[in-house]
A and B are shown apart, each in its own frame.
Chain A
């Protein structure tokens, strides 16, 4: 059995090698445990699902009450001519399933409204629900059901040459946000005891030449910083001038040969180069401070998700063992040094990180105990370590609900009007999509679907645009060109626009499922004519 498991694991490692390099084994594991619900297997819907089935989600369920039409077959790769007349959920499931034998495909031959009528908890079981080409009323209804069940909801729409996505999630926590250019956590400004001892174990003056030129730059900076502080009343170099003087101090430490010419000591050069980043004061990022202060962190209950329990434990750590700082990350960058010195230094950081994580673990344990959760209801050690390692990068994304977005009282008027100062902003497409929805409510069809209607629909759509602007008291101008354009679209889903949205939406879904990387908040618009996009907060 172990051999079989090992070989399955090895073959998965091979198949998923190129993506494991982005989200790691644990990211892959969350994907493999995910159950994704797709509502409506239109071209956009199947494109999204294809991009989730390929990287290996655990299961999907397609919810679709429609019957496959000729038009569907024309723009949807996963519906064939033979499937015309069959249920669309079933037909698409058959072909999507073929993409990856590791994924279990299911389908329900009913529309979402009917499902909600019969079983309001139907959608609670999913990791994420992706709703495609849904009318506003269904979105609102699903939005509130999913919100109460804490299931993320991704609304997607391809409308002619416009792509639209809306993320609805009350609270989405991210441990690994993978920031670009993150600063190292070196604690040079406040060395912990073990680090101080390690620094003391070096005596740069009495060292042999080879050792001197193979001392890690972190030690060099620490040594000269010690010297600087003693000469400057304990004040570190702050401005450019002082930092330059500090660099010079390090430069003077480079060994000289018998003729007084400085030797080539690359490690010293590296130290000088890193002065700026090395002197960055250790502090808690404001984004992390903010979530420390949130209600979920303050009130830990038996129902609190592990993110909040760990966050609270880290907060306790900061106020106790951490003396105001987050747990040490425990990693150092590559640098010029011989293996032994590098490994010794790395171990100092690593061991401190383990100690800190162990202290956080203790807080986790007592927090769980305080809300009546006892062993074995604990949080795995490796999760706590990962959490501590990423403590500076934690993020919580809170999206406004659709109800808030749509309500006259809570509509984000500022964002809309400020964007509409430039009348060709992507915001105009948002307003047009809303107007089109209004059209659908009034006429039970989308404008311009039949060409003979285009002319009369233009004026009807214009009425909807105006009533929308009036209802929200929006003093903005929408060019007639856009109204014509939207009538001309006739609610079509050109395949290549669906393909684009399929990629983008699946990417966001993966972020949400894996809790890695920060998803957009909360609306995304794509204009295929100009190849532009924008994210809006609505």
Chain B
């Protein structure tokens, strides 16, 4: 009966930060306001989408496209005008939200949907020494946990399964699972209509180490690639534009010529089944009845149906045409942004991915399934978020009552488990001594090839992506303090394409990586190895190789937020028991918030005010 003892949480005087105004965030905001929290700040960089409306109840159809944080604040104020809510339509990773910003709060609550931001807030709360409640949901599953520097595990104490990234060669040359084709199709969208990204190449990768061909074969390959003009010399987008986004030309290049080119890399197909190129005209001639656009539209509504190859050819054509005119309407130099909830963009990816699946002998997928995978969609419903947000506030009240030791990590199951428990509370674990984030002197060892790893890879894939820094400075511990990477723009850009060995980095070298914003320093030991697995650029010693996890069919496991516990959806955070008992719980100045304190004072702690006084109070206020 932890909440019944000790001092009451004087919630009204304390500032709290809610990071994220989505499914959990909306519920949380409501619960906080009705529990008497008066100073609430909420931040979210996202805008409202139609698919949010089935659960994010502070938003309505008329709000689609507007800032989540702003609308959430306005809707909550409509119901509870006396609350003091500050909204930021911004990323929490923006440098403005520094350690000083975090120190303003008594408690930070995460209601996020991505690991990068969770890692960052974890570090900011560690740096500011502010308790953090971490949470997440996926379908019927949910999790809440508490993080407090020095007392509990931090968000990054337990290694999380690698987030799904796929090696370039697999995407470009040798897809073996539908997801590879879907990723390829998303890349293709960006190459054709969106922002081009060198890491998102879609054409055959001639540098595939596995293909390593003999020089005499080169001639044959050159001929193959010249067929439709050597498109290597111009970007995919420029070439597409030069054809006027001719869907048949695009089709034949992507699904015939490129595939025929891949076939010339015959080493790839010794053990694999070789792909089968598709030809538009051949397909067109053999298609029995050509369905018209209207039928196609009708088909598109049948989200859960798998079309035949010609059906996807037509969907490809139709979506290319729609996207082309969208691009034209936006004017010269415009770019489209892929969005799973934008029908033509989703149609394009469905069609292109399925055609590629067919070419590589995979079973095609419905638009509904492709959307799940392409959008990394985690099913989401109002009920789970409501349960989780309820749990968060109760944990928050414990923290603010100075009862951190009674806080728990709580898992919400889909249905009562064998022991008839829907909720599984677990005692918080102490910090892991080897954590590369919250240990007193964080240190890691990274296996890589110093002759093949570029500084840019070190910066983007290792220091930023893997170790979660936002604006890193990296120097070599070579006695001279050589600066390899600077967070100041332009200072070390010249280093980007040089190899680590060019700076004298070799086996046993030590690099010091700093993130000033996160107040975080990490020592990286370099372990040089000549041979890493195909497509693996580096490995963190003591962790599984950094490659894609095995395919998963269970929707709930696919989410990137899982913390490795199969029964759970998400990880969480900790808090520390800072008591500001000097604040007056009764500092209420009218308005609706007042009543929520009734619960706090009377029911969550030893009553400070008698109920009769509350009744009188209500009578005075409202009659």
Contact = CB atoms under 8 A, between A and B. Distances in A.
A9 B301 contact: yes
Interface residues of B, number: 92
A51 B383 contact: yes
Interface string A502-527: 11101100100000011010001010
A405 B385 CA distance: 32
A161 interface: yes
Contacts of A329: none
A520 B414 CA distance: 11
Contact of A334 (B3, B553, B594): B553
A489 B607 CA distance: 10
Interface stretch (A16-24, A218-226, A238-246, A278-286): A16-24
Contacts of A254: none
Contact of B301 (A6, A15, A493, A531): A6
B30 A77 contact: yes
Contacts of B341: 14, 17
B60 A500 contact: no
A531 B50 contact: no
B380 interface: yes
Interface stretch (A65-73, A124-132, A148-156, A430-438): A65-73
B54 A532 contact: no
A531 B145 CA distance: 12
Contacts of A452: 610, 612
Interface of B: 1-4, 27, 30-31, 33-35, 50-51, 53-55, 57, 60-61, 79-80, 139-140, 271, 273, 298, 301, 303-304, 341, 358, 361-363, 368, 371-372, 377-391, 393-395, 397, 406, 408, 410, 414-416, 420-423, 425, 553, 555, 591-592, 594-596, 598-600, 602-604, 607, 609-615, 618-619, 621-623
Interface in A1-51: 6, 9-11, 13-19, 21-22, 25, 43, 47, 50-51
Contacts of B33: 77
B362 A70 contact: no
A386 interface: no
A177 to B, nearest CB: 10
A10 B421 CA distance: 38
A480 interface: no
A261 interface: no
Contact of A15 (B54, B139, B416, B622): B54
Contact of B3 (A18, A75, A161, A210): A161
A50 B382 contact: yes
10 contacts: A43-B34, A73-B595, A81-B591, A448-B611, A493-B599, A494-B604, A495-B35, A499-B386, A517-B415, A530-B406
Given A47-B386, A74-B594, 5 more contacts: A18-B381, A54-B54, A451-B612, A499-B30, A503-B390
B313 to A, nearest CB: 16
B172 to A, nearest CB: 21
- Most chain-B Cβ atoms within 10 A of its Cβ — which of A11, A70, A343? A70
A535 interface: yes
B151 to A, nearest CB: 18
Nearest to A22: B379
A183 B298 CA distance: 36
A269 to B, nearest CB: 13
A510 B383 contact: yes
Nearest to A517: B415
Contact of A499 (B389, B414, B553, B619): B389
A488 B425 contact: no
A417 interface: no
A74 B390 contact: no
A450 interface: yes
Secondary structure type dominating chain B contacts: helix
A84 B621 CA distance: 11
Interface residues of A, number: 89
A25 B271 CA distance: 42
B555 A21 contact: yes
A151 to B, nearest CB: 21
A397 B410 CA distance: 28
Contacts of B416: 520, 533, 535
A510 B384 CA distance: 12
A518 B341 CA distance: 31
B382 A506 contact: yes
A487 to B, nearest CB: 11
B595 A531 contact: no
A339 B390 CA distance: 48
A526 B423 contact: yes
A180 B4 CA distance: 39
A485 B1 contact: yes
Given A69-B618, A339-B361, A490 B603 contact: yes
Contacts of A73: 592, 595, 622
Contacts of B394: 496-497, 500, 528, 531
Given A77-B79, A489-B603, A504-B383, A21 B377 contact: yes
A107 interface: no
A101 interface: yes
A403 interface: no
A98 interface: yes
B422 A530 contact: no
Contacts of A535: 416, 420-422
Contact of B603 (A338, A492, A500): A492
A385 interface: no
Nearest to B79: A77
B573 to A, nearest CB: 16
Contacts of B415: 517-518, 520
Contacts of A76: 34
Contacts of A69: 618, 622
Contacts of A501: 390
Contacts of A74: 34, 592, 594-596, 598, 618
Contacts of B607: 451, 488
Contacts of A351: none
Nearest to B50: A14
A119 interface: no
A16 B54 contact: yes
A75 B379 contact: no
A69 B301 CA distance: 48
A339 B301 CA distance: 25
B142 to A, nearest CB: 9
Contact of B610 (A19, A334, A451): A451
- Most chain-B Cβ atoms within 10 A of its Cβ — which of A18, A81, A507? A18
Contact of B34 (A22, A495, A531): A495
B81 to A, nearest CB: 8
Contacts of A95: 79
A80 interface: yes
A533 B421 contact: yes
B319 to A, nearest CB: 16
Contact of B51 (A15, A51, A503, A534): A15
Contacts of A495: 31, 34-35, 596, 599
A84 B80 CA distance: 14
A22 B140 contact: yes
A237 interface: no
Interface in A460-488: 481, 485, 488
A448 B607 CA distance: 11
A160 interface: yes
A445 B404 CA distance: 36
A6 B602 contact: no
B595 to A, nearest CB: 2
B84 to A, nearest CB: 17
B602 A488 contact: yes
B604 A531 contact: no
B598 A18 contact: no
Contact of B380 (A19, A50, A520, A526): A19
Contacts of A161: 3, 603-604
